[in-house]
Structure 1
Amino acid sequence: FLNPNKNKSFLYVTSLRRNLCDTKPKTGILMLNMGGPEKLEDVHDFLLRLFMDTDLMKLPVQNKLGPFIAKRRTPKIQEQYSKIGGGSPIKHWTSMQGEGMVKLLDEMSPETAPHKFYIGFRYVNPLTEEAIEEMEKDGVERAVAFTQYPQYSCSTTGSSLNAIYRYYSNRADRPKMRWSVIDRWPTHPLLVECFAEHVSNELLKFPEEKRDDVVILFSAHSLPMAVVNRGDPYPQEVGATVQRVMEKLGHCNPYRLVWQSRVGPMPWLGPQTDEVIKGLCERGKKNILLVPIAFTSDHIETLHELDIEYGQVLGEECGVENIRRAESLNGNPLFMKALADLVQSHLKSNEPCSRQLTLRCPLCTNPTCGQTKAFFANQKLS
């Protein structure tokens, strides 16, 4: 099964030279994600911010229950991180991806250069608000909020965009930068090609006589059904990615879209990844390939949940013959090209956001979502 540190050989020697240079950036790209604790001592604060985020989840008496849950779950989550090297590699990979992206952009789009990337995490440093302050300090003229979730959800990308809106709504002065947003990209051709390449590479590692029998399980982070039933587009967009990848692969193997990381007793989008693995084994399908289809780099859900909980522990319990996981996109140069192409196309379009972003979920209960959408849709870019 995958070694969590396998990709560490991808030497990180660029040292973020572009982010440390003195040249005033014309275009700043804010790479949005939830982030992950780099050290075990960061886990509590990460969980606290997560359980206090009303865009992600609404809890009764959240100002009391959120801190209680964070404190209670900290030891368990710290134990999980200790098994994957003591922290999340998501900042490492995001930095590498951003460095590769802006290097390509300076060549592809000299009229919007120099470009500089910034990392804006939702629950750990560097926080989104801190990144915006850095962008303003650097004198960025054109700011692109670039979600690193290919498929849009109000609970992920939506939460990050709400953080940008709240940053400015709490200030008297108007934004110094002209903002736009890349809010989704589930079927971008180069993204699809990357996923297909990683699936193909991993299929070749199965015994040849078993290869045609491998079931491909595309696994994405699940959502509470309360969120789905409000009209969140995430399930459809994840499904669109899966469909394009399988088309690229020529529908070479049977497959299913499954959902992971359910928490608590509420109904969640299913079927759950672990339950599907059990069900397949009971039906004699014991060669399984897991594909993290909604994640663009390794973190706790790939390195611990997929690799250890399912690939090692559950796989042994169920008696699987072969269970593997396709590598995450991480440092793949083709993925960096995909990021650069997305930004270049977005800048050329001169559109502040996609048409989809302007539509609130039909049963939305969060007024901030509407205000955020209006904030981006009404940006004057020229």
Structure 2
Amino acid sequence: MALRVPFAQACRRATLNGPSVSSASILPAYASRWRRRNATVAPSVTQASASSKGPTAVVFMNMGGPSTTDEVGSFLSMLFADADLIPLGRLQNYIGPLIARRRTPKIQKQYAEIGGGSPIRKWSEYQASEMCKILDKTSPGTAPHKPYVAFRYANPLTEDMYKQLLTDGFGGGNGGRAIAFTQYPQYSCSTTGSSLNELWKWRNRLEGKRATGEVDPEGAIKWSVIDRWPVHSGLVEAFAQNIEKTLATYPEERRDKVVLLFSAHSLPMSVVNRGDTYPAEVAATVYAVMQRLGMKNQYRLVWQSQVGPQPWLGAQTSDTVKNLMKKNITDLVLIPIAFTSDHIETLFELDKEVIGEDAEGHEGVKRIESLNGNPVFIEALADIAKSHLESGVPCSPQMLLRCPGCVSERCLGQKAFFAGQEQRL
């Protein structure tokens, strides 16, 4: 317990100062303390012993992934129907399902090759559960903390998560608070924004005017949002340690010459040009990690998972690997910098397509371990949530500024709702 107090303070200072602050002066001492921390976690606080400000629901929001190959079709249908993620214009409702049907057999084969489904639900539920155990100890005033997962395109869907909240005694006249905690460290309207739009939609249907006749009924859930955390010290440390572990597998004389390729999910240029903050926030994460590593290695930020013929943010990860190898640069480490657990983009796209096919399995091309159950990462999640609970604010000021080119009324309404929660926290 004593170790976490100065750590949390240091994390907050580093986060406020942004990626320009050198992590070297802060992180090493706390990293060693993390490693020495007793792994035994105290039992979670029970509902019967709720504090004056508890219980608190913590909802991990993510894109999700099909748990079985049979779920691939519905997953793709919802994904391509989402104009926030993949804008297809006026014919979205027609083109989206058509693309989904055509791609389903191919994507089913890909999921079959990585074990028959995505592990993202397993890791999300584990991360949320372990984080809440830590929060029960470090933030007893808001305990007990109950973990939930809400996926945008796969089970458990946001609708079902919200119904479970009501079943568990949150809202529906009972009050209670809930945190929508994005598991996209870097904000984008296509990811976090889309998930918050969906959450706001189901809040209105199940607790808002469409359900009760009131805009803000008495006893509804009090919501707040953790909408971005691209340079949190714990996130940076977790990535840095995994990179160091992979670099250590190269012979010492080659180690400092390894090129680091930070790979993130790409965006359509129409979204980028609208003013989306995602590219800048991903770059901030990359730079903070490189500062922590001492800037010893050459690096590039590259982009993966382009879909369709329209222009997307580049350079593409696969093209970059092929081009570097043509130049006889064959010691490359791939770092999935915008992902917090394994899923098809890491297990198939990076491991099988980029490393297995583009790099032809060259022994010098490797990928770092994903964050998954990393204890440093889970400690970071708990510290982020604790700081948020202590702040008393509903969301970051940055979330309330719309993209300069945004014309979405839904986006405007969603932001107004979460901003209006401030008086109720």
Common topology (TM > 0.5): yes
What amino acid maps onto 1:112 in structure 2? Answer: T
Question: Normalised by the size of structure 2, how large is the TM-score?
Answer: 0.83
Q: Is the 8 A contact 2:118 2:344 kept in 1?
A: yes
Q: Percent of aligned positions with the same letter in both sequences?
A: 55
Q: CA shift at 1:193, angstroms? A: 0.3
Question: By how many angstroms is 1:21 displaced?
Answer: 8.0
Partner residue, 1:167: 202
SS in 2 for 1:106: helix
1:344 to 375, 386, 389: 386
CA shift in 2, pair 1:23/1:96, >3 Å: farther
The verdict on how the C-alpha distance between 1:90 and 1:159 changes in structure 2, with shifts beyond 3 A counting, is same
The alignment status of 1:381 with 2:424, answered yes or no, reads yes
1:233-281 Cα deviation digits (max 9, x unpaired): 0000000000000000001210000000011111110111011111211
Counterpart for residue 12 of structure 1: none
* Aligned residue type for 2:364: N
The residue type equivalent to 1:360 in the other structure is: R
Per-residue deviation at 1:381?
3.1
- Residue 302 (structure 2) pairs with residue 258 (structure 1): yes
Q: Structure 1 regions of 5+ residues with no counterpart?
A: 1-16
Give the secondary structure class of the aligned counterpart of 1:378: helix
Give the ranges of 4+ consecutive aligned residues of structure 1 lying more than 4 Å apart after TM superposition: 17-25
By how many angstroms is 1:20 displaced?
11
Query: Which string of whole-angstrom CA distances, capped at 9 and with x for unpartnered residues, describes residues 189-222 of structure 1?
Result: 0000000000000111122232122100000000
**What corresponds to 1:50 in structure 2?**
79
TM-score scaled to structure 1, two decimals? Answer: 0.92
In structure 2, C-alpha distance between the alignment counterparts of 1:294 and 1:38, rounded to whole Å: 21
Task: Judge conservation of contact 1:19–1:117 (CA < 8 Å) in 2.
Answer: no
Comparing 26-35 with 49-58, which one deviates more in the overlay?
A: 49-58
Please say if residues 260 and 273 of structure 1, whose CA atoms lie closer than 8 Å, have aligned partners that are also in contact.
yes
Contact 1:194 1:329 in 2 (8 A): yes
Structure-2 change in CA distance of 1:22 and 1:322 (3 Å): farther
Q: Which structure 2 segments of 5+ residues have no match? A: 1-42, 171-175
* Aligned pair partner of 1:232 in 252, 276, 280: 276
Q: What pairs with 1:58-97 in structure 2 (closer than 5 Å)?
A: 58-59=87-88, 60-97=90-127
State the alpha-carbon separation in 2 of the partners of residues 321 and 145 from structure 1: 41
Specify the code of the residue in structure 2 equivalent to 1:198.
N
Opposite residue 381 of structure 1, the aligned amino acid is R
Q: Contact 2:45 / 2:144 at 8 angstroms: preserved in 1? A: no
Give distance in 1, aligned partners of 2:201 and 2:71.
Answer: 24
Matches within 5 A, 1:165-244: 165-170=200-205, 171-172=208-209, 173=212, 174=216, 176-244=220-288
Question: How far is the alpha carbon of 1:133 from its aligned partner?
Answer: 1.7
Q: Choose from 155, 174, 189 the match for 1:154.
A: 189
1:138 is aligned to 168
Q: State the shift of 1:360 in Å.
A: 0.2
Q: In structure 1, what is the Cα distance between the partners aligned to 2:234 and 2:158? A: 27
State the superposition RMSD in angstroms. 1.8
Matched, 1:353 2:391: no
Aligned residue type for 1:346: H
Q: Within 5 Å, give how 1:276-287 maps onto structure 2.
A: 276-287=320-331
Match of 1:284, SS state, is coil
Query: Aligned residue for 1:7?
Result: none
Residues in 1 aligned to 2:86 and 2:79: alpha-carbon distance in whole angstroms: 9
**Pairing partner for 1:32 from 53, 58, 61:** 61
Q: SS of the residue aligned with 2:228?
A: coil
Q: Match for residue 99 of structure 1?
A: 129
Q: Distance in 1 between matches of 2:177 and 2:348?
A: 38
